[in-house]
């Protein structure tokens, strides 16, 4: 699987060359264009385990993903793009697991294991349909960002606003915390919740927070 990134950093689109027998998994709706002999199928990927009610609950809670699988019998190409303006980043998984914000996941090779329901960062307040995917295995992963994307190599401790996290290596330990010394101060100051990372590993961040844009712009849209 060869991935080419075009039109970076604002309108990034991925051109993926698929070899016969290779399978590509992507967020449903990400396909822009493709060779006509590629065979797509889409399914609802639910959070791990539990009863049917649990699965339904997760779907209602927004913790589900519609995923498309693309297969081909002969060499083919496919273009994938994210929904919002921003960049793309290719991560090649080998040893470390990657925890990815649900909105930042675009695609991955089928050799990468996608696990929904990563509970570590679960927070009532992280809201807005934000949930986290646990990626493991070997293969390429395509991440998207709202705005630019940058890497922070954590060695010790680092603080990142939760809305700006694209993905991070699972080797890092973390806690959700308040930005300042007081909870009131943190909310008044607009920072709310931050993620304190500890240890060694990479954190991939986006320069902008799409939910912040939605809060600011959406509320100014004329009433329906």
Partner 1 sequence: MAAHDEYHYTIDHAPAYASLILNLKPNQTVVVEASAMAAMDSCIQMDTKVRGGAMQGLKRMLGGESLFMNEFTAQGQGGQLYVSPGVPGDIQHYRLGGSQDSLMVQSSGFVAASPTVNVDSQFQGLKGFFSGESLFLLRLTGAGSVWFSSYGGIVEIPVEGSYVVDTGYIVAFEESLSYHVEMLGGLSWRGIRTGLLGGDGLVCRFQGRGRLWIQSRNLYNLVNFLRPMQTSSSS
Interacting residues with partner 1 (CB under 8 A):
6-7, 10-13, 15, 27-44, 66, 68, 79, 81, 83-85, 210, 213-215, 217-219, 221-224
Among residues 84 and 176, whose Cβ is nearest to partner 1? Answer: 84
Dihedral sign of CA atoms 205, 207, 211, 215 in order: positive
- The torsion angles phi and psi of 222, rounded to 5 degrees, stand at -65, 150
Q: Residue 42 CB, nearest distance to partner 1 (Å)?
A: 5
Choose between 44 and 138: whose C-beta lies nearer to partner 1: 44
Cβ 201 to partner 1, closest distance in Å?
A: 30
User: Residue 204 is encoded by which pair of tokens?
Assistant: 């991939």
Nearer to partner 1, 36 or 95 (CB): 36
Give the shortest CB-92-to-partner 1 separation in angstroms: 23
DSSP structural state of residue 37: T
In the complex, least distance from residue 119 CB atom to partner 1, rounded to whole angstroms = 22
| 8 Å CB contact between 13 and 7 | yes
Decide whether 72 or 97 has the Cβ nearer to partner 1. Answer: 72
What does the alpha-carbon distance between residue 212 and residue 14 come to, in Å, rounded to a whole number?
26
Contact between 22 and 92 under an 8 Å Cβ cutoff? The reply is no
Residue 128 or 177: the one with the smaller Cβ distance to partner 1 is: 128
Question: Residue 14: which H helix or E strand, with range?
Answer: strand 13-18
Nearer to partner 1, 162 or 210 (CB): 210
Q: Which is nearer to partner 1, 85 or 176 (CB)?
A: 85
For the bound state, the minimum distance from the C-beta of residue 8 to partner 1, rounded and expressed in Å, comes to: 9
Q: How far is the CB of 223 from partner 1 (least distance, A)?
A: 5
Number of Cβ atoms within 10 Å of the Cβ of 224: 3
- Report the length, in residues, of the chain: 224
Query: What span, in angstroms and rounded, lies between the C-alpha atoms of 146 and 142?
Result: 14
Which DSSP letter does residue 46 get? Answer: P
C-alpha 87/C-alpha 19 separation (Å) is 25
Q: In the complex, what is the shortest distance from the CB of residue 94 to partner 1, in angstroms, rounded to a whole number?
A: 29
Q: Are 17 and 1 in contact (CB under 8 A)?
A: yes
């Amino acid at each position: 699987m060869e991935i080419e990134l075009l039109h970076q950093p604002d309108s990034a689109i991925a051109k993926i060359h698929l070899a016969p027998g290779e399978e590509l998994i992507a967020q449903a709706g990400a396909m822009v264009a493709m060779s006509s002999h590629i065979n797509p199928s889409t399914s609802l990927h639910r959070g791990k385990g539990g009863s049917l009610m649990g699965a339904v609950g997760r779907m209602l809670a927004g913790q589900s993903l519609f995923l498309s699988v693309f297969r081909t019998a002969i060499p083919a190409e496919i273009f994938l793009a994210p929904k919002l303006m921003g960049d793309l980043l290719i991560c090649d998984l080998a040893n470390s697991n990657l925890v990815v914000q649900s909105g930042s996941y675009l695609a991955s090779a089928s050799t990468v294991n996608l696990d929904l329901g990563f509970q570590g960062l679960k927070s009532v307040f992280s809201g807005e349909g934000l949930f986290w995917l646990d990626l493991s295995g070997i293969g390429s992963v395509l991440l998207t960002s709202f705005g630019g994307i940058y890497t922070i190599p954590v060695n010790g401790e680092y603080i990142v606003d939760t809305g700006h996290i694209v993905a991070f290596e699972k080797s890092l330990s973390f806690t959700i915390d308040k930005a300042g010394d007081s909870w009131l101060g943190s909310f008044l100051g607009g920072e709310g919740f931050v993620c304190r990372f500890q240890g060694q590993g990479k954190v991939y961040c986006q320069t902008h927070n799409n939910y912040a844009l939605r809060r600011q712009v959406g509320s100014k849209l004329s009433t329906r």
